[in-house]
Amino acid sequence: MEAIIISLFLLGYLAITLEHSLKVDKLIPALIMMAVMWAVISLGIGNVNTWFDSKLHSMIDGFSMFSGVEKIHILEGSLIHHLGKTAEILVFLIGAMTIVEIIDYFDGFSTINKFVRSRSKRKILWLFSGLAFFLSAIIDNLTATIVLISILQKLIADRESRLMYVGMIVIAANAGGAWSPIGDVTTTMLWIGNKVSAFHLVEYLLLPSMMSLAVPVFIASLMPTFRGRFEPLKASERPENPHSSKMLYLGLGAIVFVPIFKTITHLPPYVGMMLSLGVVAAFAEVFSSSKFNMSSVQKEENDKATHGPVHQSLSKIELPSILFFLGILMAVAALESMGLLFEFATAMRNSLPMVGTELSTAPVSDLVVILLGVSSSVIDNVPLVAASLGMFAEPMDSPIWHFIAYAAGTGGSMLVIGSAAGVVAMGMEQINFFWYLKKIAWLALLGFLAGVLVFVFMRSII
């Protein structure tokens, strides 16, 4: 049974990594893999001898002696538990994506474009890298990448020069997402899973993440590509939306409010995100002078009500990404429920030497976490972090969780297919895989290693 489940996961994951070669959207193998894995477990539950209780984070004693009915009951409970935890992440992401789309509906991100005054290539490099770093911490690295590439396309005409900027934006966005609980799907997973707190995540990872950006940007700024000045494209003649700045600040403020809400109320983050979405949606409807309408189910006679900012924003969110996360997280949950991740972690702890500092409380070696970061450039970091959630039982804010957040968040920059930011950049600018490998990968690697050194040093003194 275990061999079948592992084989299904590997086949499904191979199809996901070969998405561009197979020309099949990665959500399709993810959903099929998830459904088939749980179906096989259910049909063969009588032959399953081990089961992992995710609530107690331990193996169930004597599971092999349970009757088939008892095993099915436990399976259903585990499935509901994992679906609930996954739904928390997905609802949170839907809320965040909708707020960002509402900002874009009012052309709020054009406000950022007004700040770009310099024509120096080097200054623009530092400016956009800094914007990507901090913006991704607020609106997530995927959205920040889309926003900044869109601005670059309106600013820099030469495609070869623009590609280098785009590559640096990918590095900066991933670095910025690593230190924020809402900056990357993986950090959101760790935060919602009560593995890290917002305050300590920022405390431990802000400096390492800044270093992982500063090193490659400094080296790149010395390259011929970023010397001299450029001629900007002509500005768009589209009339300015009078509410653009207000919606930008309101939307970003609403997203930043979510960790504060969680700290005060101790409620799951998705509750705060729904509150923020409701407030932003209310202002959006008022600013658009349309009736309140959160759904298209109720057909209004007024076209502006039916096609208002909230409805349009909800229709533009990345639903394929949401479904992909559902499939991959529930597939990893199947591996966890059968105890495969727990057994793997136990074997790894028993066989791998500790190479970390003596003051480290991490139960696995630093080398393992570094390899996880490197692997995230080849394999999507979502399942890697999802697997780590089921493998380790360390308490909240243990250094290992912060190290995993950093490694998984920044390691994906080493390949263009290694992160959501890289994949969307690849699509928007038609970036060649080998061009990125030659021009950007080595810069991302140096930044990643520099951040690792800073993290290990900080861990030894904090």
pLDDT digits over 219-235, tens only? 999 998 888 887 665 55
pLDDT band at 296 (very low <50, low <70, confident <90, very high): very low
pLDDT of 299? 43
Integer Cα distance of 177 and 213 in angstroms: 12
Amino acid at 385: V
**Taking 90 as the threshold, does the pLDDT of residue 294 lie above it?**
no
Higher pLDDT, residue 396 or 20: 396
Average pLDDT, integer, range 376-382:
72
pLDDT of 26? 80
Phi-psi label, residue 268: left if phi above 0, alpha if psi -120 to 50, beta otherwise: beta
Q: 78: closest CA among 88, 68, 86?
A: 86
Q: Which CA distances in Å does 159 have to 25, 178, 190, 422, 428?
A: 27, 29, 37, 17, 12
Higher pLDDT, residue 23 or 201: 201
Residues 6 or more apart whose Cβ sits within 8 Å of residue 60: 50, 51, 52, 53, 74
Is the four-CA dihedral 174, 175, 178, 183 of positive or negative sign?
negative
- The pLDDT mean for the chain works out to 81
pLDDT digits over 77-120, tens only? 999 998 998 888 888 878 888 888 888 888 887 776 666 666 78
pLDDT of 222? 92
Integer Cα distance of 88 and 311 in angstroms: 22
- Angle subtended at Cα 173 by Cα 324 and Cα 408, rounded to the nearest 5 degrees: 60
Residues 6 or more apart whose Cβ sits within 8 Å of residue 202: 179, 180
Kindly state the tokens that stand for 277.
């979405």
Residue showing tokens 């190479």: 355
Q: Which CA distances in Å does 182 have to 97, 185, 428?
A: 11, 7, 23
Q: 177: closest CA among 121, 137, 235?
A: 137
**Taking 50 as the threshold, does the pLDDT of residue 358 lie above it?**
no
Higher pLDDT, residue 15 or 452: 452
- Ranges of each domain in the chain: 89-319
Average pLDDT, integer, range 200-204:
91
E-assigned strands of 2-138? 52-53, 58-59
Highest mean pLDDT among 16-20, 58-62, 448-452: 448-452
Q: 405: closest CA among 173, 207, 204?
A: 204
pLDDT of 163? 92
Q: What is the DSSP string of 316-380?
A: HS-HHHHHHHHHHHHHHHHHHHTTHHHHHHHHHHHHSPP-S-TT---SS-HHHHHHHHHHTTTS-
pLDDT digits over 139-157, tens only? 778 778 877 887 787 778 7
Average pLDDT, integer, range 8-19:
83
pLDDT of 356? 41
Q: What H or E segment, with its residue span, contains residue 206?
A: helix 198-221
pLDDT band at 379 (very low <50, low <70, confident <90, very high): low
Q: What is the DSSP string of 256-297?
A: HHHHHHHHHH---HHHHHHHHHHHHHHHHHHHTT----S-SS
pLDDT of 419? 80
Higher pLDDT, residue 412 or 36: 36
Average pLDDT, integer, range 207-225:
93
Integer Cα distance of 345 and 390 in angstroms: 9
Q: Which CA distances in Å does 99 have to 87, 129, 257, 260, 288?
A: 18, 23, 13, 17, 15
Integer Cα distance of 95 and 114 in angstroms: 27
pLDDT of 291? 46
